[in-house]
């Protein structure tokens, strides 16, 4: 039996869900290796040969000489061109889509990720930094406001259609509660989240490699929070 072209290495994180959303939406054949952070799977020599930065996700395209792609935004771009889906061809529309993809990669993800880090990892390990927490929460809220304004006049982030920009931004924006951020007053952003949630492929994707309800504010998994803080402890001795 032939193997699917795409082999995905990922974990249940905001970045980790992005390529799964694409692959489910495109109805593309793929298989998955779940990366276990507690075992430091992402730091093994074999994994570092695919991604020298030791992060998830990574894809290997067996249909293209086992070509490896890391960085979630680059993966979405690669998949969009491989399958000719969710990235416009016309130059202006393509550029607009990539602009909003980069807005997520350079802004929403890093800022919200730091808000989560200082609250969910640093503080439980004895490094409570109120100034840093306030800084990253306020900047993330500002960026979510930019998204809200963008969505005031259109259903999707770019080019008047559903694209990889929406796929990249959704897992982060949906996880606002994990960063202890309210989106009250951001009505257009909330409506967009509901449109995204209504897509069956998106719902399937949020269970691969496993569901993580705590990101979405729907449970209080103390054991996961403790393990997550331990996995990414800021203590340099670990």
Domains and CATH numbers, the chain: 6-83 (3.40.30.10), 91-199+217-231 (1.20.1050.10)
Contact 132, 140 (CB under 8 A): no
Whether residue 209 is preceded by a cis peptide bond, meaning omega within 30 degrees of 0, is yes
**E strand spans, 62-142:** 67-70
pLDDT at position 238 over 60: no
- Residue 1's pLDDT is 66
- Residue 220's pLDDT is 73
Please state, in angstroms and as integers, the Cα–Cα distance from residue 96 to each residue in 18, 25, 61, 84, following that order. 19, 21, 27, 17
pLDDT at position 236 over 80: no
The rounded distance, in Å, linking the Cα atoms of 47 and 52 is 8
Tokens, residue 226: 């403790």
- pLDDT tens-digit profile of 118-146? 999 999 999 999 999 999 999 999 999 99
The rounded distance, in Å, linking the Cα atoms of 210 and 204 is 10
Short-list 22, 13, 17, 4, CA closest to 201: 22
What does the buried/exposed string (b/e) look like for 67-105 if buried means 16 or more CB atoms within 10 Å of the residue's CB?
Answer: eebbbbbebbbbbbebbebbbbeeeebbebbbebbebbb
In the sheet that 30-34 helps form, which strands lie side by side, from edge to edge? 30-34, 6-10, 58-61, 67-70
The rounded distance, in Å, linking the Cα atoms of 47 and 225 is 25
Reported as type and span, the H/E element at residue 31 is strand 30-34
pLDDT band at 235 (very low <50, low <70, confident <90, very high): low
- pLDDT tens-digit profile of 72-123? 999 999 999 999 999 999 999 999 999 999 999 999 999 999 999 999 999 9
The rounded distance, in Å, linking the Cα atoms of 9 and 56 is 7
DSSP conformational letter for 53: T
**CA angle, 180 as apex, 196 and 99 as ends, to 5°?**
45
Dihedral over alpha carbons 154, 193, 12, 61 (to 10 degrees): -30
How far is it between the farthest Cα atoms of the chain? 56
- Residue 195's pLDDT is 98
Q: What is the pTM of this model?
A: 0.95
- pLDDT tens-digit profile of 11-69? 999 999 999 999 999 999 999 999 999 999 999 999 999 999 999 999 999 999 999 99
DSSP conformational letter for 69: E
Length of the chain: 238
- Residue 37's pLDDT is 94
- pLDDT tens-digit profile of 203-218? 999 999 999 999 998 7
């Amino acid at each position: 039996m032939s193997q699917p072209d795409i082999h995905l290495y990922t974990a249940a994180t905001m970045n980790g869900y992005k390529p799964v959303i694409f692959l489910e939406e495109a109805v593309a054949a793929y298989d998955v290796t779940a990366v276990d952070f507690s075992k430091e799977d992402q730091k093994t020599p074999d994994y570092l040969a695919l991604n020298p930065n030791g992060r998830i996700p990574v894809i290997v395209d067996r249909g293209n000489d086992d070509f490896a792609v890391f960085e979630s935004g680059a993966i979405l771009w690669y998949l969009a061109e491989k399958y000719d889906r969710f990235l416009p061809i016309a130059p202006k529309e393509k550029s607009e889509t990539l602009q909003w993809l980069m807005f997520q990669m350079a802004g929403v993800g890093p800022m919200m990720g730091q808000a989560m880090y200082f609250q969910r990892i640093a503080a439980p390990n004895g490094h409570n930094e109120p100034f840093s927490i306030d800084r990253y929460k306020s900047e993330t809220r500002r960026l979510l406001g930019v998204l809200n304004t963008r969505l005031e006049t259109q259903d999707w982030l770019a080019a008047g259609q559903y694209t990889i920009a929406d796929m990249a931004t959704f897992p982060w924006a949906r996880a606002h509660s994990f960063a202890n951020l309210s989106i009250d007053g951001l009505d257009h952003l909330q409506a967009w989240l509901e449109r995204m949630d209504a897509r069956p492929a998106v719902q399937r994707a949020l269970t691969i490699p496993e569901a993580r309800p705590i990101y979405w504010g729907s449970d209080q998994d103390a054991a996961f929070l403790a393990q997550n803080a331990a996995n990414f402890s800021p203590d340099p001795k670990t």
